[in-house]
Amino acid sequence: MSEQQRQAPLADAMQAYAAGGALAFHTPGHKQGLGADPLLRKLITEEGLKQEVSLMAELDDLNHPEGCIKEAEQLAAELWGAEHAFFMVNGTTGAIHTMLMAALSPGDEVLVPRNAHRSIMGGIALAGARPIYMQPAVDEKLGIPMGVTTECVRGTISMYPSAKAVVVVYPTYYGVANDLEAIVSLAHEHGMTVLVDEAHGAHLKFSDKLPPDAIACGADLVAQSTHKTLGSMTQTSMLFLQGNRVEAERVRCTMSLLTSTSPNYLLMASLDIARYQMAKEGKLRVGRALWLSSLARSEVNGMDGLWCFGQEYMGGPGAKTLDTSKLTVQVSGMGLTGAEAEQILRWKYKLQCELADTKNVLFIISMADTEETADLLIRALRDFSCTERRGEAAPDVPLQLSEIPLMECTPREAMFRPSEAVSFEDAKGKIAAEEINFYPPGIPVIVPGERITGGILDYIRKTAELGIRVTGPQDTTLGTLRVLC
């Protein structure tokens, strides 16, 4: 580790400013905590309030960094092996929107896996691009989508050779990683930019027992959720750039267009500190997380009615390797859906999982976990498996739509056309004006501009009946859907 990596330049500059004693006659209105309500003081420390200032000369400017923010971003780029890093304070959604708008122009075709997060669909709409969807492999036993296969990408490229870019989700929400290196090589051979949603892979860099990170695989732009598996605050992410397929200045200008001109310095400092922490002890912490997850997986697989797949299950379509810090525990053998298991675990055992789907609950073992937290998880799941059985198997449900819906117009075109609300059943045959997801994992069932079929309505109804949370539509009860007039 370089000597510079042992520093946190942005966090240090904020501390120095707060210690300088300058009397505040500027925003924010709480004046470094002077006017903060006791509830806010309880929520944020006195020191945190003193450092919660905005755009002081010595604290640099996120939109045009020249000082401590620039230094902090350069250290992040160095640690993750990229040429440029950009701090994001509006989540990985903001990073993905920036990535797509920087790499695409209106009318460009972009190849997109159908299991992409809704933020990718939003970025495509903002860019005015035309999505060409690729169907990911689906594992019937697990009941989850895997990655898109190299063969699928190759076939789609041959059908759309003029496409500008390829989007890859790597790894998936469940930790499954496809052959990204092969996909990058294939896309670059055809002059296409590779854009990676690596929201769940900020920690991959710190262990050779994990899938290789997207930058190491040669991707051009990579969006990471630093807050998801590392130690920064929620809503903070990083966007990495390497190579010359997209200009760094275009990325910065696009980011400035989409980012607040008053970014929160506590959020930015948390990114700097998370990088500093991982530079010091990332390999140790991630290594411990993998060891704990291995212990937990072994214990779960000895419990009646539960199953947690591991690296030995990889090798199928779209599943080259696995981030083993993700524990996907299948509960259907107990006669429960994932949504039912989530509620029991939350309220009876005080365990909050990351997500629940039709068959599984997902737990993340991160660099923060200890032997104590892993033991609590194991003991709770053991008791759960002994006392909560409802039957031999949960209800069978469709895993995904049998085919990708027909796109009648681009998402952006649909956004600006008049729409109306119609009853759920009357939406059949019409063109969607809103997106429908089940969240998590936030993968769209229907996107604005696509034709709604009876099969789509059946799929939505059956999945909603299982208790999976609906997001996207104006009417989340699904009594009505918005369609184009």
Domain with CATH 3.40.640.10 in the chain: 3-278
Backbone angles phi, psi at 140, to 5 degrees: -65, -40
Question: The dihedral of CA 248, 254, 258, 262: what is its sign?
Answer: positive
3-278 belongs to CATH 3.40.640.10: yes
Q: What is the pLDDT of residues 455-474, one digit of tens each?
A: 899 989 888 887 778 888 99
411-484 belongs to CATH 3.90.100.10: yes
Q: What is the pLDDT of residues 71-80, one digit of tens each?
A: 999 999 999 9
pLDDT at 410 over 90: yes
Percent of the chain at pLDDT exceeding 90: 84
Q: What is the pLDDT of residues 43-94, one digit of tens each?
A: 999 999 999 998 788 999 999 999 999 999 999 999 999 999 999 999 999 9
* pLDDT of the residue at 118: 87
In Å, how far are 244, 255, 317, 345 from 248, measured between CA atoms? 8, 11, 35, 46
* pLDDT of the residue at 98: 98
For residue 440 the two structure tokens come to: 């998590």
* pLDDT of the residue at 395: 62
Residues 6+ apart with CB under 8 A from 21: none
* pLDDT of the residue at 137: 87
* pLDDT of the residue at 444: 83
Across the range 153-170, mean pLDDT stands at 98
For residue 44 the two structure tokens come to: 């944020």
Residues 6+ apart with CB under 8 A from 224: 80, 92, 95, 198, 199, 201, 202, 237, 238, 239, 240
Residue pointed to by tokens 């001109």: 261
C-beta of residue 8 within 8 angstroms of C-beta of residue 72: yes
* pLDDT of the residue at 340: 92
Tell me the pLDDT band of 138, cut-offs 50, 70 and 90.
confident
Across the range 5-20, mean pLDDT stands at 93
Q: What is the pLDDT of residues 418-438, one digit of tens each?
A: 999 999 999 999 999 999 988
Domain with CATH 3.90.1150.150 in the chain: 284-387
pLDDT at 398 over 80: no
284-387 belongs to CATH 3.90.1150.150: yes
pTM above 0.85, yes or no: yes
| Ordered DSSP codes for 317-371 | TT-SEE-TTEEEEE-GGGT--HHHHHHHHHHTS----SEE-SSEEEEE--TT--H
For residue 213 the two structure tokens come to: 């990170």
- Percentages of the chain per state (helix, strand, coil), in multiples of 5: 40, 15, 45
Give the separation between CA 151 and CA 146, rounded to whole angstroms: 14
Residues 6+ apart with CB under 8 A from 269: 8, 10, 11, 14, 51
Tell me the pLDDT band of 443, cut-offs 50, 70 and 90.
confident
Least confident of 136-140, 250-254, 330-334, 466-470: 466-470
* pLDDT of the residue at 236: 98
Mean model confidence pLDDT for the chain: 94
| Higher-scoring residue by pLDDT: 390, 400 | 390
Percent of the chain at pLDDT exceeding 70: 97
* pLDDT of the residue at 3: 81
C-beta of residue 199 within 8 angstroms of C-beta of residue 230: no
* pLDDT of the residue at 363: 98
Tell me the pLDDT band of 396, cut-offs 50, 70 and 90.
low
* pLDDT of the residue at 49: 92
